[in-house]
Amino acid sequence: MTHPHPVTLDDVRAAAARIDGVAHRTPVLRSRTLNARVGAELFFKCENFQRAGAFKFRGAYNAVSRLSAGQLAKGVVAYSSGNHAQAVALAARELGTTAMVLMPEDVPASKRAAAAGYGAEIVTYDRYRADRAVLAASLADERGLALIPPYEHPHVIAGQGTAALELVEEVGHLDALLVPVGGGGLIAGSATAVTCLGRPVRVVGVEPQAGDDTRRSLESGERVGIPVPRTVADGLATQTPGELTFSINRRLVDEIAVASDEEIIEAMRLAFECLKIVVEPSGAVGLAALLAGRITPTPSRIGVLLSGGNIGARRFTDLLADDF
Amino acid sequence: MTHPHPVTLDDVRAAAARIDGVAHRTPVLRSRTLNARVGAELFFKCENFQRAGAFKFRGAYNAVSRLSAGQLAKGVVAYSSGNHAQAVALAARELGTTAMVLMPEDVPASKRAAAAGYGAEIVTYDRYRADRAVLAASLADERGLALIPPYEHPHVIAGQGTAALELVEEVGHLDALLVPVGGGGLIAGSATAVTCLGRPVRVVGVEPQAGDDTRRSLESGERVGIPVPRTVADGLATQTPGELTFSINRRLVDEIAVASDEEIIEAMRLAFECLKIVVEPSGAVGLAALLAGRITPTPSRIGVLLSGGNIGARRFTDLLADDF
């Protein structure tokens, strides 16, 4: 990808039109208690209420919907043990095609069931013996399936940007936008959407402390790799930024903040008690960084992307029990 | 109260106009998973997102706003250790008056802090020695305060009816409406609102199994008393229906269903996992009764009032831990 602007605001707007009436226009919540705690006006964009429980459906649906009729007749393939799997499965069903999802053999039964529940065919692999990307590519090749990557695709990135676009359309100008960073697709799309709309917005990515590959990469000016991160925020545990996403984020992202696992769990607790909502660990990093005082100086009007809510009650109680 | 219609649809509409822009117009959530489980279309009216965390603010604000300027200069008083206390405290602050709230000495610190946080003066009493209603009446008398009762007042009931009114305005006709029943104010207002709008709606009250005073009262045709209920749904643990609320509910409520504590906790878990929201035990009885198959025959389009979300994360994890 050498094009200087592989994704534009117009691409995000086109994605918004495609997902209109299919994806939820998720609510924006506010809390006087949290505003007082942070000393700013916070606007929480609740992608935990998105279909399939996370923002991922936006990008997956946009990407699948751009395939040709011939390709839709053959089907799509994705590799993911997380929210992208469910998103692609649901998008495929909505668009009348079939999805194959590669998951490691030891994926939790609930995640497997969630993707299967949307009609996907689940193919498992031995995570110690096989490279999932290679496996997916060869399956795509053999069976003529279109590979829908979790973030390394302009249509996926444009779709992810629609959440931030909706947020700014609803609440007006923001001084800063906080976005969780894993592979970098959500923030690449979000930054594309908000930096081209009116007054400048400070775009802040947030990573788990143990998984700060994008922070390190931005600091060193090139993509760097880190060991497999151990963090409660499993959706953000990437080892290196995407090539395409990094080419966008190095231009448009102002800074990266981090949050520790303990801070993430405390943010989940406060989202529960003050907002009355369920946010998964990866979705809570923005609020966590704010509460930990990592966003300085504190902007006046801050948008916070709560990216997903896929966490079982059992897992939630276990996480908080360690914390009490 | 011998007037045949102490509260009318016009009263609910007038209350809706008074609370407009002050109370939240709370969202209506849906879940394909829960629809499939129950075999009906469910519309969840999320009063857990209401200001101060429960529907109670609607009635409290409506009642306080109807006081004379002279009365507002003197202040209001309420007795409650639960959501009504916070609601009256917040309503008083919003309307520029002062609130005194009577709470038992052993009230949890968090509940006391919540009401005090809205600016109320907290007065404690010994729950084994004093009758709080008598105490509140004498305080009201001595200091010239207006008593805002939790349900036995037409303005409180009319305010509570606005949630159901909003629900029907938003989603159109419902075949049934499920409403938690404690003192009976929420269902009295809700029934008043929906039974006068278009086609008939089956109004179903839901009580905790151990606190079924309204069910017994409707069966026997007069208000009966039961021993202090032991139930996880503390907001619904009344011993006898209100006189005013019962006079309305005996006319307008079609039936009362019950839910066990175990069923209530399971409903809270499903609200967490499928709706991604926090519902307190008292707020989850409607969903609990549905999941337990207590609403037969099952109507096609069902409104479910989720009345509040005031439960700490610690208490939630304790309740679910017992259940795992």
- Strands A146-147 and A121-125, bridge-based pairing: unpaired
Let me know whether A192 and A244 are in one domain.
Answer: yes
B7 SS3 class = coil
Angle B251-B23-B309 (CA atoms, 0-180°, nearest 5)?
A: 80
Distance of CA B273 to the CA centre of its chain: 24
Find the CATH number of the domain harbouring B228: 3.40.50.1100
A313 touches A275 (CB < 8 A): no
Final residue of a structural domain among B154, B179, B214: B154
Checking if the pLDDT of A267 tops 90, the result is yes
If you average pLDDT over residues A119-142, what whole number do you get? 89
Nearest residue on chain A to B279, alpha-carbon basis:
A276
For position A1, what pLDDT does the model report? 45
Residues A79 and A103 both lie in one domain: yes
User: Does residue B1 belong to any structural domain of this protein?
Assistant: no
Mean pLDDT is lowest, of A2-11, A25-34, B237-246, for A2-11
Nearest to A312 among B273, B278, B317 (CB): B273
Catalytic residue among B45, B56, B242, B283: B56
Same domain, B183 and B291: yes
Q: Report pLDDT digits (tens) over A14-57.
A: 999 999 999 999 999 999 999 999 999 999 999 999 999 999 99
Q: Residue A1 falls within a domain, yes or no?
A: no
Of the candidates B47, B152, B207, B266, the residue annotated as catalytic is: B207
Q: Could you give the CA distance from residue A240 to residue B232 in angstroms, rounded to a whole number?
A: 48
Q: Do A277 and B276 touch (CB under 8 A)?
A: yes
Buried b (16+ CB within 10 A) or exposed e, B298-321: ebebbbbbbbbbbbebbebbebbe
Q: Which tokens sit at A157?
A: 């990135």
In chain A, whose CA is at the least distance from the CA of B309? A276
Residues of A in Cβ contact (< 8 Å) with B273: 278, 312-313
Between A44 and B109, where is the model more confident? A44
Please report the number of interchain residue pairs, chain A to chain B, with beta-carbon separation below 8 angstroms: 50
Query: Touching check for B108 and chain A: CB below 8 Å?
Result: no
Say yes or no to pLDDT of B137 above 50: yes
Do B309 and B219 share a structural domain?
yes
Chain A residues touching B27 at Cβ < 8 A: 27
Q: What is the mean pLDDT of residues A45-72?
A: 97
What is the per-residue pLDDT for B1?
Answer: 45
A258: left (phi over 0), alpha (psi -120 to 50) or beta: beta
**Inter-chain residue contact A320 with B317, CB threshold 8 Å:** yes
Contact at CB, A277 and B273, closer than 8 angstroms:
no
Give the other-Cβ count within 10 Å of A65's Cβ. 17
Report pLDDT for B80. 87
CA distance B45 to B271: 12
Mean pLDDT calculated for residue range B124-140:
87
Share of residues in chain B with pLDDT > 70 (%)? 98
Q: What is the pLDDT of residue A111?
A: 84
| Assigned domain for A4 exists | no
> Do B162 and B150 fall into the same domain?
no
Residue B313 contacts A where some CB pair is shorter than 8 Å: yes
Q: Is the pLDDT of residue B171 over 90?
A: yes
Distance from the Cα of A269 to chain B's closest Cα (Å) equals 6
**pTM, two decimal places:** 0.94
Distance from CA of B274 to the nearest CA of A (A): 9
CA distance between the termini of chain A: 48
Is residue B261 annotated as a catalytic residue, yes or no?
Answer: no
Active site residue A169: no
A291 in Cβ contact with A178 (< 8 Å): no
DSSP-assigned beta bridge partners for residue B147: B77
Residues A278, A199, single domain; the answer is yes
Taking the CA atoms of A241, A242, A243 and A248 in sequence, report the sign of the dihedral they define.
negative
Q: Do B163 and B291 belong to one domain?
A: yes
Query: Looking at the predicted structure, is the pLDDT value of residue A60 above 80?
Result: yes
> What's the pLDDT score for residue B193?
96
**Pairing assessment for the beta strands A301-306 and A255-259 based on DSSP bridges:** unpaired
- Residue A322: is its pLDDT beyond 80? no
Bridge partners of A42?
Answer: A302
Using DSSP bridges, classify how beta strands A99-104 and A121-125 pair: parallel, antiparallel or unpaired.
parallel
At A70, is the pLDDT very low, low, confident or very high (cuts 50, 70, 90)? very high
User: Of B154, B181, B206, which marks where a domain is finished?
Assistant: B154
| Structural domain includes residue B16 | yes
Residue B92 has pLDDT above 60, yes or no: yes
Looking at the structure, tell me whether residues B206 and B270 fall in a common domain: yes
Residue A81 CA to residue A60 CA, distance in Å, equals 15
Q: How far apart are CA A87 and CA A160, in angstroms?
A: 12
Least confident of A104-108, B32-36, B221-225, B256-260: A104-108
**Residues of B with CB below 8 A from A48's CB?**
276
A116 close to B (CB below 8 A): no
Among A189, A187, A165, smallest CA distance to A236 is for A187
Q: How far is residue A156's CA from residue A63's CA, in Å, rounded to a whole number?
A: 5
CA-nearest residue of chain A to B53?
A276
- pLDDT above 90 (res B65): yes
Let me know if A213 is a catalytic residue.
yes
Residue with the two structure tokens 């519902």? B279
Say yes or no: B312 contacts chain A, CB-CB below 8 A.
yes
Tally of structural domains, chain B: 2
d(CA B104, CA B106): 5
Q: Domain ends where: A121, A137, A154?
A: A154
Q: How far apart are CA A22 and CA A61, in angstroms?
A: 9
User: CB contact, 8 Å: A109 with chain B?
Assistant: no
Catalytic annotation present for A307:
yes
Choose among A142, A183, A123, A140: nearest CA to A307. A183
Q: What is the mean pLDDT of residues B65-74?
A: 97
Q: For residue B122, tell me if it sits in a domain.
A: yes
- Phi-psi group of A39: left, alpha or beta (phi > 0 → left; psi -120 to 50 → alpha; rest → beta): left
Q: How confident is the model at residue A131 (pLDDT cuts 50, 70, 90)?
A: confident
Within a domain: residue A3?
no
**Is pLDDT at A255 greater than 60 in this prediction?**
yes
Q: Give alpha helix (H) positions in B52-205.
A: 56-65, 69-74, 83-94, 109-117, 132-143, 154-160, 162-171, 185-195
CB of B272 within 8 Å of a chain A CB? The answer is: yes
Residue carrying the six token digits 């497999």: A228
Residue with the bigger pLDDT between A256 and B198: it is A256
Taking residues B219-227, report their average pLDDT.
96
Q: Mind listing the pLDDT tens digit for each residue in B14-50?
A: 999 999 999 999 999 999 999 999 999 999 999 999 9
DSSP collapsed to 3 states, chain A: CCCCCCCCHHHHHHHHHHHECCECCCCEECCHHHHHHHCCEEEEEEHHHCHHHECHHHHHHHHHHCCCHHHHHHCEEEECCCHHHHHHHHHHHHCCCCEEEEEECCCCHHHHHHHHHCCCEEEEECCCCCCHHHHHHHHHHHHCCEECCCCCCHHHHHHHCHHHHHHHHHHCCCCEEEEECCCCHHHHHHHHHHHCCCCCCEEEEEEEHHHCHHHHHHHHCCCCCCCCCCCCCHHHCCCCCCHHHHHHHHHHCCEEEEECHHHHHHHHHHHHHHHCECCCHHHHHHHHHHHCCCCCCCCCEEEEEECECCCCHHHHHHHHHHHC
Let me know whether A164 and A148 are in one domain.
Answer: no
Chain A: give the shortest CA distance to residue B108, in Å: 16
- Eight-state DSSP code of residue B143: H
Q: How far is A282 from chain B (nearest CA, A)?
A: 15
The active-site residue, picked from B213, B234, B261, B280, is B213
- Percentage of chain A beyond pLDDT 70 is 98
**Quick one: average pLDDT of A95-110?**
91
- pLDDT higher than 70, residue A129: yes
Mean pLDDT within A122-130: 86
Q: Do B118 and B236 lie in a common domain?
A: no
Distance from CA of B192 to the nearest CA of A (A): 28
Question: Is residue B2 included in any domain, yes or no?
Answer: no
Domain ranges, residue A13? 9-54+157-323
pLDDT digits (tens, 9 = 90+) for B182-193: 999 999 999 999
Residue A312 touches chain B, beta carbons under 8 Å: yes
Q: Is the pLDDT of residue A128 over 60?
A: yes
Task: Please tell me the distance from the alpha carbon of residue B141 to that of residue B123, in angstroms, as a whole number.
Answer: 16
Contact B272 A316 (CB under 8 A): yes
Q: What is the pLDDT of residues A286-320, one digit of tens each?
A: 999 999 999 999 999 999 999 999 999 999 999 99
When the pLDDT of each residue in chain A is averaged and rounded to a whole number, the result is: 94
On whether residue B4 sits in a domain, the answer given is no
Same domain, yes or no, for A84 and A141?
Answer: yes
**Residues B179 and B78 both lie in one domain:** no
> What's residue B324's pLDDT?
59
A207 catalytic per annotation: yes
Residue A3 reports pLDDT greater than 80:
no
Highest mean pLDDT among B110-119, B136-145, B270-279: B270-279
Average pLDDT for B194-211: 92
Query: B276–A312: do the CB atoms touch at under 8 Å?
Result: no
- pLDDT tens digits along A194-220: 988 878 899 999 999 999 999 999 999
CB-based contact A273 B312, cutoff 8 Å: yes
Instruction: Given the residues A53, A75, A80, A81, select the one marked as catalytic.
Output: A81
Is the CB of A276 inside 8 Å of chain B's CB atoms?
yes
Our CA-based measurement puts residue B90 at a distance from the nearest CA of chain A, in whole angstroms, of 13
Using CA atoms, how far residue A20 sits from A14, A37, A63, A150, A290, in Å, is 10, 35, 14, 21, 31
Using the beta-carbon criterion (under 8 Å), do A278 and B272 form an inter-chain contact? yes
Active site residue B307: yes
